[in-house]
Structure 1
Amino acid sequence: MPSYSYTSSSSSFSSNINGRQTGHSYKETSQTTPEGTTVRTTSQNLGERPVTHTQQFDSQGRELIGDNTGGASRRIEDVSSEEADHGYKERMEDEYAKREGGA
């Protein structure tokens, strides 16, 4: 029997530092069919337009690039929630440091 799945997660952050309002939201969805997986990430900074990035992978986990031939060497890898959360937190901290002039 074919396997199908759909997952979605989102997070947001906002703060007011010295009267300056900042904020960021992030959403990721993943849809898997027998043919492969589509991952969409959308991020948005307060006051800016959202940016969406889509990645497609074949049924073997190879990223489909350009003409969708599957010739790329990148693959989907399973990571624990803790590893994923840690990686996300590090990326967000780096991003905020850049915006504040700290990196």
Structure 2
Amino acid sequence: MSSNGRSTFQSASYSFSSSTVNGETRSYSESTYSDPSGTRIQRSTQEPGQAPRNERVEFDSAGRRIQDDRSTMGRIEDVTDKEQSDRDREYEERMEDEYAKKEGGA
């Protein structure tokens, strides 16, 4: 305790893990910082072939979760991978049709 009666406690931690299976790497990191005003947690995960996902969580000094504008707006979903996947599938189907025509007409 400081001379004004307020706590000056601070704590920080960081962890990181990574694993590779069949050439595909997954990673996870988390950093936590606590002081008298509350606790802030930053997490980052990355799955093979995916963009990193970041999450930030904050709690006030009483342990209540603090909501910010970003967290109340809902999760942002990356639809580019799905759109590309749909286009790739359509392309493959067209190519299969073309090969079938060539093999049938030869």
- Normalised by the size of structure 2, how large is the TM-score? 0.55
Structure 1 outlier segments of 4+, above 3 Å = none
Shift of 1:3: 0.3
Q: Greater share of strand residues, 1 or 2?
A: 1
Q: Which residue identity does 1:39 align to in structure 2?
A: I
Partner of 1:54: 56
Distance 2:68 2:16 in 1: 28
Structure 2 residue ranges without an equivalent (≥5): 2-7, 70-106
Q: Greater share of helix residues, 1 or 2?
A: 2
Partner of 2:81: none
SS of the residue corresponding to residue 38 of structure 1 reads strand
Structure 1 residue ranges without an equivalent (≥5): 68-103
Aligned partner of 1:43 among 37, 41, 45: 45
Distance 1:27 1:48 in 2: 16
Q: Is the aligned partner of 1:3 residue 2:47?
A: no
Equivalent pairs, count: 63
Shift of 1:42: 0.3
